[in-house]
Structure 1
Amino acid sequence: MDSDVEFDAVILAGGRSSRLGGQPKQWMTYRGATLLQLSLDAARGAAGVAVVGPEDGALPAEVLTCREDPPFAGPAAAVAAGLAALAYAGALKPFTLVLACDMPRAGTAVQALRDGIRDGAEGVMAVDQDGRRQPLLGFYSTAALQRSVQDLASRGALINGSVMALLASLDVQLVTVPAGSTDDVDTWDDAAALGVAGQEP
């Protein structure tokens, strides 16, 4: 990615964490840092950052917070809420980094994705070493995301919509990222395997 290409970031941190007994993923820790802090670190260089999830005063003052409406309405609605918050705060940048907060090693993937953006592409999505796609780790054309949000909303498909539905109309390139960088925390077994700590109920 050219150094003069600017981007914003939408960090998703508002899921139910049902397989973790409701433990908020963003406040679990990895090597002494919360997963949300690691996500903010991974998004370093973004002109604007919106965290979609419950408000918390521990965030840096420059980080925007918002919530999908209604809460827990799914990742498509969450991305839409993040884009809206960024738009309200100022001019949007050409690309938006979409990042779920439950991947503690995402930083190296973000760098590989930045390097993989090509002129004319509508985005790049992380793919792990086994070929599994991770749509919640990618850079996407902000204008294309906005069009997709509007399209889903017009069809009543934004609420509880999947991120793949949101990205279906985009010409997205796949970028293989470093091993382990897309590993996420969905269960307590995942947390144990990754060395992520939290308060298990």
Structure 2
Amino acid sequence: MASSSRRSGPNRTVKPVDPYGALVLAGGSARRLGGVHKPGLLVGGVRLLDRVLAAVPDAAPRVVVGPPQPTPPDVRMVREEPPGGGPVAALSAGLTALGDAAQQPISRLALLAGDLPFLSPAVITALRRGADGRDGAVLVDPDGRDQYLAGVYRLEALADAVASVGPPTGVPLRRVVTRLDLARIAAPDRPDGAPPWLDCDDADDVRAAEAFARRASGQ
């Protein structure tokens, strides 16, 4: 249920954002990291998956798609079919689980990769506001690349796009999301300069993430 509008400053009205759910894709083969389970890697002493979930503390429901792994009590864990069937298969399984787990109707969904250590609630709020009146909003990195797994989507539009591609196994995510009307959002600045779109795909990315984490902690 949306809250009433709040005023920020003398002449500015901040529009409330609707309730939303969160879906984290936390599988994948991580070939460039030797096949390790990426969401379980530690950055600054905290698991990547825990960092991502901390960016959406007010989402309900919260669903993680991937192999069995520790999650907070409120998080539902599911597996795509077949295991390793790719991001759209994981998305499809997650959408089904969201429908089963939702305690109240939601119109928006944060769709996130499980290896983004520097997402924050502020970034998610910027995406939720940016998605207003559109099918969704995604982060854009400084090179202009859309980060489809750092986005907030209109749930109905995303589900329709998934259904329209047929069997989801092996389908690239781009084939789904390019059917949508998306806003492209530059991330709010962080005091430590850590980029919210940084994903830990390889060893260099993990080292860069550790360096940002050390800077944030003052080490």
> Normalising to structure 2: TM-score of the pair?
0.82
RMSD between aligned residues: 1.7
User: Alpha-carbon deviation of 1:92?
Assistant: 4.6
Say yes or no: does 1:42 pair with 2:55.
yes
Matched with 1:66 is: 78
Counterpart pick for 1:182 among 187, 197, 204: 197
List gaps (5 residues or longer) in structure 1.
197-201
For the 8 Å contact 1:129–1:177, the answer to whether it is kept is no
User: Alpha-carbon deviation of 1:103?
Assistant: 1.1
Say yes or no: does 1:194 pair with 2:209.
yes
Percent of aligned pairs with the same residue?
35
Matched with 2:150 is: 137
- Runs of 4+ with deviation above 4 angstroms: none
Partner SS, residue 82 of structure 2: coil
Which stretch of the first structure deviates more once superposed, 91-100 or 187-196? Answer: 187-196
Partner SS, residue 123 of structure 2: helix
Q: How many residues align?
A: 191
Q: Cα 1:92–1:72, aligned 2, differ >3 Å: closer, same or farther?
A: farther
Aligned counterparts of 1:2 and 1:101: Cα–Cα separation in 2: 29
Aligned counterparts of 2:200 and 2:44: Cα–Cα separation in 1: 15
Partner SS, residue 126 of structure 1: strand
Counterpart pick for 1:109 among 123, 134, 142: 123
Aligned counterparts of 2:54 and 2:68: Cα–Cα separation in 1: 19
User: Alpha-carbon deviation of 1:59?
Assistant: 1.2
User: Alpha-carbon deviation of 1:22?
Assistant: 1.1
List gaps (5 residues or longer) in structure 2.
1-13, 212-219
Aligned counterparts of 1:23 and 1:3: Cα–Cα separation in 2: 40
Counterpart pick for 1:163 among 148, 159, 173: 173
Partner SS, residue 185 of structure 1: coil
Letter paired with 2:130: G
Partner SS, residue 165 of structure 2: helix
Aligned counterparts of 1:109 and 1:19: Cα–Cα separation in 2: 27
For the 8 Å contact 1:8–1:92, the answer to whether it is kept is no
Matched with 1:17 is: 30
For the 8 Å contact 2:17–2:129, the answer to whether it is kept is no
User: Alpha-carbon deviation of 1:94?
Assistant: 0.2
- C-alpha offsets along residues 82-118 of structure 1, whole Å, 9 cap, x if unaligned? 1100111235510110000111011143232123232
Q: Cα 1:4–1:32, aligned 2, differ >3 Å: closer, same or farther?
A: same
Aligned counterparts of 1:130 and 1:106: Cα–Cα separation in 2: 18
Letter paired with 1:15: G
Aligned counterparts of 2:145 and 2:60: Cα–Cα separation in 1: 29
Aligned counterparts of 1:15 and 1:2: Cα–Cα separation in 2: 37
